[in-house]
């Protein structure tokens, strides 16, 4: 079918899967690679949409589950859709709520991330009974073949998402790019459970696509399918083949990964997915991971890290992150970065920002978030430029050597 989302490749990386391109949406083009700013509840915490736009951000992603709970998808539809509701006139995305299957399920109340380091694959395969599963005690999400029953993080009330219900909500919210409902698993889940969850994700993907294609919303919103399979090569490749053969407008690559070898898993997937459609790497925002994702064929990335870390006083610089609360910055009357052109660095010093954090002033969150988003949006924009002018390898080497020195 003819999709409302189209993708044009402008230049490919020599000897790699990376490319610079353009995603065409009803609300404007997204020049790729691009960083997608996360506005979970139709807002980027502590910032106005105008401030986010001034950072050269091209697209905002909101969360289907959270907007369903508050203020309710019917209210957003009545307001004219996500963009009008939040006063954002550029492209928008919504995830499906699939991540909440993980965060409210196996990960709830535990220090479990969808990214893990040094995963012992063989050990996980062997120890099925000793590894956490989606049915962990105390979770707020229970999975069955037909969907997921959630408990509200607001009042504990019970709610039900089937694949069709998730897409119905995304249709009402009205983002340009929406994602199929999937099961995001833990990187510690055993092989047998990864197979079970992946197969279920594939069945849900088909149901999402059928429901979407039967709606008039298929003329204005592009549905992306999501590849799962954990850290296992055979599962990732199988998922990429099955999802890639479905007629989605684009694709998302979901967790869970071994962080130390994420690039390999991404390459497995993107060597199989159709080249002529966009690929989004979900929940990735660390600079080295973005470089790896781009090099291995991903076009867009989203992550809460830049703003979340900003609110904790962690600020990005070309020489790595700094903690602005450290005593050394209390009398430092220079910008966060001398050559940074963001509003924060143009007008304020590290000493002032450090004062705001120490005094628990809300303005600290605004200034820190502006700088971090400007930094990460600009980084991905510069990666795009380096692909176009043939200097990607040099730019990657120099940036990473400085940032992780």
Answer yes or no: is 137 within a domain: yes
* Statement to judge: residues 289 and 330 lie in one domain: no
* Statement to judge: residues 315 and 271 lie in one domain: no
Answer yes or no: is 110 within a domain: yes
C-alpha 77/C-alpha 170 separation (Å) is 10
C-alpha 61/C-alpha 83 separation (Å) is 11
Specify the pLDDT at position 288: 96
* Statement to judge: residues 132 and 245 lie in one domain: yes
Answer yes or no: is 1 within a domain: no
- Cβ burial 159-185 (10 Å sphere, 16+ → b, else e): eebbbbbbbbbbbbbbbbbbbbbbbbb
Look up the CATH number of the domain holding residue 174: 3.20.20.105
Residue at a domain's end among 285, 303, 321: 303
* Statement to judge: residues 208 and 317 lie in one domain: no
* Statement to judge: residues 322 and 277 lie in one domain: no
* Statement to judge: residues 288 and 323 lie in one domain: no
Answer yes or no: is 43 within a domain: yes
Specify the pLDDT at position 139: 77
Selected catalytic residue, list 29, 54, 95, 146: 95
Residue at a domain's end among 257, 278, 303: 303
**Cα distance from N-terminal residue to C-terminal residue, the chain:** 49
Answer yes or no: is 242 within a domain: yes
Answer yes or no: is 104 within a domain: yes
* Statement to judge: residues 256 and 200 lie in one domain: yes
Specify the pLDDT at position 125: 40
C-alpha 119/C-alpha 151 separation (Å) is 30
Residue at a domain's end among 247, 276, 303: 303
Cβ within 8 Å of residue 120, ≥6 positions away: none
* Residue 302 bears catalytic tag: yes
Take residue 119 and report the two structure tokens written for it: 């995963």
Helices 363-389, 350-358: axis angle to 10 degrees equals: 130
Listed residue (294, 314, 331) closest to 375, CA to CA: 314
* Statement to judge: residues 264 and 212 lie in one domain: yes
Domain count, the chain: 2
- Cβ burial 241-255 (10 Å sphere, 16+ → b, else e): ebbbebebbbbbbbb
Alpha helix positions (H), 246-389: 262-270, 287-295, 305-311, 343-347, 350-358, 363-389
Per-residue pLDDT 10s for the chain (405 aa) are 789 999 999 999 999 999 999 999 999 999 999 999 999 999 999 999 999 999 999 999 999 999 999 999 999 999 999 999 999 999 999 999 877 766 675 655 555 455 555 544 444 443 333 333 444 445 788 899 999 998 888 898 999 999 999 999 999 999 999 999 999 888 888 899 999 999 999 999 999 999 999 999 999 999 999 999 988 999 999 999 999 999 999 999 997 777 778 999 999 999 999 999 999 999 999 999 999 999 999 999 999 999 999 999 999 999 999 999 999 999 999 999 999 999 999 999 999 999 999 999 999 999 999 999 999 999 999 999 999 999 999 999 999 999 999
Residues 52/53/57/59 CA torsion (nearest 10 deg): 100
DSSP, collapsed to helix, strand or coil, labels residue 48 as coil
Per DSSP, the residues of 138-186 read: T-SEEEETTEEEEE-TTT--EEEE-HHHHHHHHHHHT-SEEE----PPP
* Statement to judge: residues 288 and 394 lie in one domain: no
Specify the pLDDT at position 375: 98
Answer yes or no: is 350 within a domain: yes
> Residue 331 sits in which domain range?
311-403
* Statement to judge: residues 286 and 318 lie in one domain: no
* Residue 54 bears catalytic tag: no
- How many CA atoms within 13 Å lie on the side-chain side of 190? 12
Selected catalytic residue, list 176, 258, 299, 302: 302
Beta strands in 176-231 (DSSP E): 177-179, 222-227
* Statement to judge: residues 138 and 264 lie in one domain: yes
DSSP assigned state of 99: H
Answer yes or no: is 372 within a domain: yes
* Statement to judge: residues 278 and 375 lie in one domain: no
Residue 191's H or E segment, with its range, is helix 191-213
- State the average pLDDT for the chain: 91
């Amino acid at each position: 079918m003819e999709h409302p989302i189209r993708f044009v490749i402008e230049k490919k990386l020599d000897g790699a899967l990376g490319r610079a391109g353009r995603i065409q949406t009803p609300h404007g083009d997204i020049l790729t690679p691009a960083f997608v700013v996360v506005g979970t509840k139709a807002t980027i915490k502590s910032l106005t949409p105008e401030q986010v736009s001034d950072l050269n951000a091209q697209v905002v992603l909101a969360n289907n589950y959270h907007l369903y709970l508050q203020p309710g998808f019917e209210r957003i539809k009545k307001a004219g859709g996500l963009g009008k509701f939040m006063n954002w006139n550029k492209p928008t995305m919504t995830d499906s709520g699939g991540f909440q299957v993980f965060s409210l399920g196996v990960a709830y109340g535990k220090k479990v991330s969808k990214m893990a380091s040094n995963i012992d694959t063989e050990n996980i395969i062997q120890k099925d009974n000793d590894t956490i599963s989606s049915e962990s005690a105390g979770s707020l999400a229970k999975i069955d073949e037909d969907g997921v029953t959630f408990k509200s993080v607001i009042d504990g009330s019970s709610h039900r998402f089937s694949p069709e219900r998730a897409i119905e909500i995304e249709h009402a919210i009205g983002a340009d790019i929406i994602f199929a409902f999937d099961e995001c698993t833990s990187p510690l889940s055993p092989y047998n459970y990864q197979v079970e969850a992946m197969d279920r994700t594939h069945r849900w993907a088909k149901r999402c696509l059928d429901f979407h294609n039967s709606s008039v919303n298929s003329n204005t919103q592009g549905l992306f399918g999501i590849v799962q399979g954990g850290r296992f090569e055979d599962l990732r490749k199988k998922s990429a083949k099955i999802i890639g053969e479905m007629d989605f407008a684009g694709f998302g690559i979901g967790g869970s990964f071994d962080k130390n070898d994420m690039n390999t898993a991404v390459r497995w997937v993107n060597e199989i997915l159709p080249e002529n459609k966009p690929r989004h790497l979900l929940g990735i925002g660390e600079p080295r991971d973005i470089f790896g994702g781009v090099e291995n064929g991903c076009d867009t990335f989203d992550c809460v890290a830049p703003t979340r870390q900003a609110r904790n006083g962690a600020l990005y610089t070309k020489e790595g992150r700094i903690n602005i609360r450290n005593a050394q910055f209390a009398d430092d009357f220079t910008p966060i970065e001398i050559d940074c052109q963001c509003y924060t660095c143009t007008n304020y010093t590290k000493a002032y920002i450090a004062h705001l954090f120490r005094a628990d002033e809300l303005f600290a969150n605004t200034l820190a978030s502006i700088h971090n988003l400007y930094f990460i949006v600009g980084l991905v924009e510069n990666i795009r430029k380096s692909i176009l002018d043939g200097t990607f390898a040099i730019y990657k080497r120099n940036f990473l050597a400085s940032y992780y020195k």
